[in-house]
């Protein structure tokens, strides 16, 4: 064998060996991942039932001290919403809401304390709570309710001066019902000085502002000549305005 033939043979042998040892350049496809199939003998756990509002509010009130939740829960107990009705429970949770500083809880508790609903009436406590809420400025109706109880003597001797002061506070804040009550007490001289002219002005202003009770008392002022001229025709006119405005006492 010539020298040239030997070189060619070795070159071919080297090329063959190189082809066998060189790994393929393409990336092999990954083996598919088999998804695990659930064991047919194992049942899936059911989803937990969502908690109702009473349960959530009870936890928020009793465990977290959320006063607003206490009041909301009390409403449900009082009205039988989303469960049984229990006025005693309602009082209990209104008290918790009130103790936590929630004004509506105090006000609703005061309303219950005016009646036998959920326990013995306690008008003195009701007045105390109404005044507390009134002074907080949240619920003007609390001022009116306190004044009515004080004027009527529901919790003992009537306190006309204090009642008139509460009515005056409402009137100063633009509450026309309060102004009518101040006018009525001024006309009669109850709880303070008698001022028929001022009473007539208050009645007239309230009537013009759309308060039907003001129209009724203005009618009486015209009919009897309280604080000004007497005019029965004007009295009838104002009485009709009061009746048309929904003040039933003027419709008789």
**DSSP annotation string for 73-91:** HHHHHHHTTTS---HHHHH
Q: What is the DSSP letter of 29?
A: P
Closest residue by Cα to residue 166 from 130, 196, 129, 125: 130
> Is residue 134 a part of any domain in this protein?
yes
Please report which helix (H) or strand (E) contains residue 149, including its range.
helix 140-152
User: Quick one: how far is CA 118 from the chain centroid?
Assistant: 21
> Is residue 9 a part of any domain in this protein?
no
Residue 51 pLDDT = 76
> Is residue 217 a part of any domain in this protein?
no
> Is residue 213 a part of any domain in this protein?
no
How far is residue 95's CA from residue 86's CA, in Å, rounded to a whole number?
Answer: 14
Domain that holds residue 62: 53-158
> Is residue 172 a part of any domain in this protein?
no
Give per-residue burial for 13-41: e unless 16+ CB within 10 Å, then b. eeeeeeeeeeeeeeeeeeeeeeeeeeeee
Q: What CATH number has the domain bearing residue 124?
A: 1.25.40.10
Name the pTM for this structure: 0.76
Residue 52 pLDDT = 87
Q: Give the alpha-carbon dihedral of 144, 150, 152, 158, to 10 degrees.
A: -160
> Is residue 101 a part of any domain in this protein?
yes
* Widest pairwise Cα distance in the chain: 154
Q: Report how many domains make up the chain.
A: 1
Whether 205 contacts 174, CB under 8 Å: no
Residue 138 pLDDT = 84
> Is residue 14 a part of any domain in this protein?
no
Residue 252 pLDDT = 81
Taking the chain (252 residues) in runs of 10, the rounded mean pLDDT of each run is 37 37 43 48 61 92 96 96 96 97 97 96 97 94 97 94 97 97 97 96 97 97 95 96 96 88
> Is residue 88 a part of any domain in this protein?
yes
């Amino acid at each position: 064998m010539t020298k040239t033939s030997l070189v060619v043979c070795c070159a071919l042998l080297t090329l063959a060996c190189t082809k066998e040892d060189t790994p393929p350049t393409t990336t092999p496809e990954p083996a598919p991942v088999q998804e695990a199939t659930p064991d047919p003998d194992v049942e899936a756990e059911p989803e937990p039932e969502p908690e109702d509002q009473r349960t959530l509010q009870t936890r928020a009130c009793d465990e977290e001290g959320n006063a607003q939740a206490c009041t909301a829960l009390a409403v449900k107990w009082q009205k039988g919403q989303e469960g049984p009705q229990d006025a005693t429970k309602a009082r209990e949770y209104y008290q918790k809401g009130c103790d936590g500083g929630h004004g509506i809880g105090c006000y609703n508790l005061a309303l219950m304390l005016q009646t036998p609903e959920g326990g013995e009436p306690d008008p003195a406590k009701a007045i105390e709570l109404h005044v507390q809420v009134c002074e907080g400025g949240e619920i003007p109706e609390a001022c009116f309710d306190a004044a009515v109880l004080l004027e009527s003597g529901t919790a003992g001797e009537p306190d006309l001066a204090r009642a008139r002061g509460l009515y005056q506070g409402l009137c100063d804040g633009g509450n026309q019902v309060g102004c009518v009550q101040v006018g009525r007490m001024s006309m009669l001289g109850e709880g303070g000085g008698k001022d028929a002219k001022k009473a007539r002005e208050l009645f007239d202003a309230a009537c013009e502002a759309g308060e039907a009770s003001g129209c009724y008392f203005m009618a009486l002022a015209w009919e009897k000549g309280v604080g000004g001229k007497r005019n029965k025709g004007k009295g009838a006119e104002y009485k009709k305005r009061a009746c048309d405005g929904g003040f039933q006492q003027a419709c008789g």
